[in-house]
A and B are shown apart, each in its own frame.
Chain A
Amino acid sequence: MKALRKILDNIKPHVEKGGKFSKFRSTFDAFETFLFVPDHVTAKGCHIRDSNDMKRTMSVVVLAVVPAMLFGMWNVGYQHFLSIGQEAGLWENFFYGFLKILPIIIVSYVAGLGVEFIFAQIRGHEVNEGFLVSGILIPLIVPPDIPLWMVAVATIFAVIIGKEVFGGTGMNILNPALLTRAFLFFSYPTDMSGDKVWIADKADAFSGATPLGDALIGDLDKLPSVSDMFFGFIPGSVGETSTLAILIGAAILLFTGVGSFRIMISVFAGGWLTGLLMNVLAVNSYMEMDAYYHLLLGGFAFGAVFMATDPVTAAQTKRGKIIYGFLIGVVTILIRVFNPGYPEGMMLAILLLNIFSPLIDHYVVQGNIRRRLKRIKVKA
């Protein structure tokens, strides 16, 4: 570490204002603050909850994703060897998945950070740290055998259109990782879902969607056991199959206070209650499926824990967060059950509510103002 610090200190004078390479100041700054706790953290301000640098908040999220990612790698190998009918050991499974996933991670980081660095240089601001999280989330929400150039194109699109045009990290109205997935989903539907994807003898690897696909056509008997779904021994996008691994991540986020428990709980509540409502209506077999299955299937848990809680695109007020989360759960189940075109509703539900979250906040704030004004009038 000390040697690293020395190198950085040696470079520093050259990139300071007036130095030879002052053009690259933002690039240098990005690496310096990534490696070391910067001395210029925000000290005060009405929006500050603690004086951590953004990068460290992001690091916690990356840490929380790791269990889901490691399990996802293992599961990719497990599903692979299962489909070709071979037994394989723990490390063999993991290594196979690791080799499959690693290129996607690299491509997503190179493409996304490349765009971020270019924009930071042109606009002369610091490199935003938001992509550290998006870059690790993107590989986890795509099918494992997605062509790498598609990941690159989608990531570049999402970072430019979803983030940079709005002013960079913290100004985006849509979650960049989900936007990447949405772009892939609508641009290259055959590579994202359907029979062609991944393991041939499994019907549908989209979004953990062998189970989801089965549920959609009412084939409830084909659903895997609850424990399989909970632990994640099912095909699907890389990081979302294991509800257990995701819950470990959720625990890390909640313990450090990075993720909002209001959003997480209300997403699950919204999904579960809508599932129960479907059970009451129950006009087809999909509606008769036990409500808690919805929470285990597909990307529901992953979306609830890592996507919906994105502090930038979620609602900001406490009551707004509950409404926001609850509606995500509701809309997800509605899309899943009533729209045969889109087996997985989580992505669309979160993106939709991302757009609505400023509106929700607006009315929560207005309601609060009105209530307090009333109190004043009564006293006076």
Chain B
Amino acid sequence: MKEKESLFSPRNLKSLTGPLSAGNPVIVLVLGICPTLAVTSQMKPAIVMSLSVMAVLSIGNVIISLLRNTIPPRIRIIVQLTVIAALVILVDQVLKAYVFEVSQKLSVFVGLIITNCIIMGRLEAFAMANKPWPSFLDGIGNSLGFGFILIILSFFRELLGAGTVYGYPVFEKIGLYSTGYVDNGLMSKAPMALILVGILIWIHRSFNKDLIESK
């Protein structure tokens, strides 16, 4: 019998920390761009979105991982979708109950978590072939990597686009507006989010040269 792997073995830890940088779902795999563009104009929705994705992805990973030996390969995608959809509906109800305003702001994008390719990708690529505990860690890791990017983006977009950080009017407090500064309207539009993602990828790759594709 194989020796039991400890809960935080290097391999497990790697599935937790890998997605933060070298395997980041947004800036390396370029998945989940839709919510990245749509909900990052302010920090609050971005954080709620990250937490929602974390709940759906980690629990979904565990459920699929538990079921992985019983799911017929032919219908695995539809089973995964059912699990995700059920979880998303749960998350949606929780958001509506406790943070109604934010859930209004996120509008359709909560429902669209179902189509977030990060979730489908991790369920298909990881949970279908791994035990529940590593799958759980993988879910947490990937949603952290996703949320990390979302929070960076939303920080800059909210600061430069509206002059606030998590709703707190920073620029107004330090008196920047009286010097003639005007908020940048482009920052709160989706195209600028795409450009910012590009800049993040640029910065990230200049620190991780091995990610740069050879020509």
Contacts and interface: CB of A to CB of B under 8 A. Distances in A.
A187 interface: yes
Interface residues of B, number: 12
B185 A165 contact: no
A189 B180 contact: no
B186 A186 contact: yes
Given A165-B202, A186-B189, A191 B195 contact: no
Interface in A135-192: 147, 149-150, 153, 161, 165, 183, 186-191
B185 A186 contact: yes
A187 B195 contact: no
Interface residues of A, number: 13
A153 B182 CA distance: 12
A190 B199 CA distance: 27
A187 B202 contact: no
Contacts, number: 25
Nearest to B160: A187
A188 B184 contact: yes
B187 interface: yes
Contacts of B184: 153, 187-188
> Which label, helix, strand, loop or mixed, suits the secondary structure of the A interface?
helix
Contacts of A189: 185
Contacts of A183: 186
A190 B182 CA distance: 10
A149 B185 contact: no
Interface string B6-24: 0000000000000000000
Contacts of A153: 184
B180 A188 contact: no
Contacts of B199: 161
23 contacts: A147-B180, A147-B182, A149-B180, A149-B181, A150-B182, A153-B184, A161-B195, A161-B198, A161-B199, A165-B202, A183-B186, A186-B185, A186-B186, A186-B189, A187-B184, A187-B185, A187-B186, A187-B187, A188-B182, A188-B184, A188-B185, A189-B185, A191-B182
